[in-house]
């Protein structure tokens, strides 16, 4: 969060499974639509927060399976763990808060007396979260009796039932809602309270997010019965909480538009980039647009025309250099020219390209350095590289690509790097 020196224009706080991530969308199209919108219009001045019931282990597994962006803040284990940035640095102040009237040993002892409870995987048991499966028909009775027993033992806990099967026991001060309230309070104390905050969810453990004052909320169209019931009983007259018509990330994009929180046209929803003109040159937009065009070119979804080739070459400095991840230097114009022979070579295949953490810095008037992570997925193989682009602004031409340098990401081990174009 330190990269922002002023309040975020928008902070999106989103659940992952069945909200940001649609497990019924094998091509991840809604998620990729959101990704390109965020990197194009919001990354530079806004905050992205993932709030998930997943433990750190399962969260990292999801990141390997799906094209998720890198959030500024990650709230995991149903609001019991808050971490920051790429390195996922834990918030120790939050840990101290959760220790109040909490004893993990006592919780394990009392829950062990209930045959109806089935312990979840070891990875899901955390310092401030104990997780079980329980049959829907027995959940209400178990929760009532367990709450009474833990209270008699001097504990102040919260029991959350979601997904029709998951039962989580947390400190009373924990949960997705309290974690968000803590984060907002922290940002306010630093003079960085976001201008607008949008909470997004689909299940019972997301209900707390919509209870935080002055926060907009969207229940995606595929929201579960338990959340819809909570909304009907607690927030049906709240105009700041809507039930979207679109699934998952599509519903988040819809909410951005309905609440007028900022741009909501994803670059992936623009069919012809030659017709897409931006009033103020934006290096982040140029990067997102180029790599999306690159995906469409190789999938054969755009025409192999001279107009496109000429437009791409015109956006490159004649003496521009491209440094391949292997370290080899090539002419940038020639590299772009080589794209012609790769037109449609991924047609009919599972091939997607996305960019992450697009951050631009103006190093001199009219000169920009843009850093980003660029990813390609071809079938089940995912490869990525850290990319640095130098742009210069030229009157009448907009932004011109002057220098591109790429290095393999730590996660990528490409045996034959000759297949990597740019």
Indicate which CATH number applies to the domain containing 115.
Answer: 3.90.1070.10
The reply to whether 247 and 310 lie within a common domain is no
149 occurs within a structural domain = yes
CA of residue 409 relative to chain centroid, distance: 19
Kindly list the strands in the beta sheet with 157-162, ordered across the sheet, starting from the edge strand earlier in the chain. Answer: 118-119, 130-133, 166-171, 157-162
The reply to whether 148 and 81 lie within a common domain is no
The reply to whether 369 and 327 lie within a common domain is yes
Q: CB under 8 Å, gap of 24 or more: what pairs does 234-242 form?
A: 234/207, 235/210, 235/211, 238/210, 240/215, 240/216, 241/210, 241/216, 241/217, 242/217, 242/218
Closest Cα to residue 403, out of 322, 337, 349?
Answer: 322
414 occurs within a structural domain = no
Is beta strand 89-90 parallel, antiparallel or unpaired with respect to 118-119? Answer: unpaired
Q: Decide which of 171, 187, 208 is a domain's last residue.
A: 171
The reply to whether 247 and 258 lie within a common domain is yes
Residue 52 is classified by DSSP as -
The tens-digit pLDDT sequence of the chain (422 residues) is: 678 999 999 999 999 999 999 999 999 999 999 999 999 999 999 999 999 999 999 999 999 999 999 999 999 998 999 999 999 999 999 999 999 999 999 999 999 999 999 999 999 999 999 999 999 999 999 999 999 999 999 999 999 988 889 999 999 999 999 999 999 999 999 999 999 999 999 998 899 999 999 999 999 999 999 899 999 999 989 999 999 999 999 999 999 999 999 999 999 999 876 555 555 557 888 999 999 999 999 999 999 988 888 888 888 999 999 999 989 999 999 999 899 899 999 999 999 999 999 999 999 999 999 999 999 999 888 999 999 999 998 877 788 999 999 999 887 766 567 788 99
The reply to whether 160 and 181 lie within a common domain is no
Question: How many independent structural domains does the chain possess?
Answer: 3
The reply to whether 316 and 385 lie within a common domain is yes
The reported pTM is: 0.93
The reply to whether 211 and 309 lie within a common domain is no
The reply to whether 233 and 136 lie within a common domain is no
Output the CA angle 279-283-287, nearest 5 degrees: 115
381: left (phi over 0), alpha (psi -120 to 50) or beta: beta
Q: Which CATH number is 25's domain given?
A: 3.40.50.1000
Distance CA 270, CA 283 (A): 18
The reply to whether 321 and 305 lie within a common domain is yes
Q: Which CATH number is 277's domain given?
A: 3.10.450.50
**Contact of 247 with 223, CB cutoff 8 Å:** no
317 occurs within a structural domain = yes
420 occurs within a structural domain = no
H/E element holding 332? helix 332-338
CA of residue 271 relative to chain centroid, distance: 24
pLDDT given at position 418: 75
The reply to whether 195 and 206 lie within a common domain is yes
Q: What is the largest CA-CA distance in the chain?
A: 77
381 occurs within a structural domain = yes
Tokens of 6: 């002023």
The reply to whether 256 and 365 lie within a common domain is no
226 lies in which domain range? Answer: 10-90+174-268
291 occurs within a structural domain = yes
- Residue 18 sits at φ, ψ, to 5 deg, of 70, 10
């Amino acid at each position: 969060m330190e990269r922002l020196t002023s309040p975020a224009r928008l902070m999106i706080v989103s659940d992952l499974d069945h909200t940001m991530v649609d497990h019924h969308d094998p091509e991840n199209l809604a998620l990729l639509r959101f990704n390109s919108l965020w990197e194009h219009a919001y990354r530079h001045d806004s905050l992205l927060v993932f709030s998930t019931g997943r433990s750190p282990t399962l969260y990292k597994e999801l990141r390997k399976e799906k094209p998720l962006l890198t959030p500024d803040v990650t709230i995991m284990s149903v609001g019991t763990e808050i971490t920051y940035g790429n390195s996922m640095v834990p918030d120790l102040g939050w840990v101290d808060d959760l220790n109040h009237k909490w004893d993990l040993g006592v919780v394990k002892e009392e829950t062990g007396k209930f045959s109806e409870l089935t312990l979840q995987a070891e990875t899901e048991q955390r310092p401030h979260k104990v997780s079980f499966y329980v049959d829907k028909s027995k959940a209400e009775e178990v929760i009532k009796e367990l709450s009474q027993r833990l209270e008699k033992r001097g504990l102040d806990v919260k029991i959350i039932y979601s997904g029709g099967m998951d039962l989580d026991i947390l400190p009373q001060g924990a949960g997705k809602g309290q974690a968000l309230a803590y984060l907002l309070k922290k940002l306010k104390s630093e003079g960085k309270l976001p201008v607008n905050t949008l909470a997004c969810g689909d299940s019972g453990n997301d209900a707390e997010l919509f209870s935080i004052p002055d926060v907009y909320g969207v229940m995606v169209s595929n929201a579960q019965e338990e959340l819809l019931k909570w909304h009907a009983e607690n927030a049906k007259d709240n105009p700041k909480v809507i039930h979207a018509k679109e699934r998952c990330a599509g519903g988040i994009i819809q909410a951005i538009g309905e609440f007028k929180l900022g741009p909501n046209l994803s670059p992936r929803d623009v069919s012809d980039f030659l017709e897409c003109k931006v009033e103020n040159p934006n290096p982040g937009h140029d990067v997102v647009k180029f790599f999306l065009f690159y995906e469409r070119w190789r999938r054969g979804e755009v025409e192999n025309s001279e107009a496109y080739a000429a437009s791409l070459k015109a956006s490159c400095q004649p003496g521009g250099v491209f440094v391949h991840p292997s370290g080899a230097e090539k002419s940038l114009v020639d590299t772009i020219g080589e794209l012609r022979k790769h037109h449609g070579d991924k047609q009919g295949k599972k091939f997607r390209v996305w960019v992450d953490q697009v951050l631009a810095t103006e190093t001199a008037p009219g000169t920009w350095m843009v850093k980003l992570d660029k990813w390609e997925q071809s079938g089940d193989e995912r490869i990525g590289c850290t990319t640095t682009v130098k742009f210069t602004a030229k009157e009448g031409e907009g932004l011109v690509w002057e220098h591109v340098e790429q290095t393999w990401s730590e996660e990528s081990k490409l045996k034959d790097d000759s297949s990597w174009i740019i």
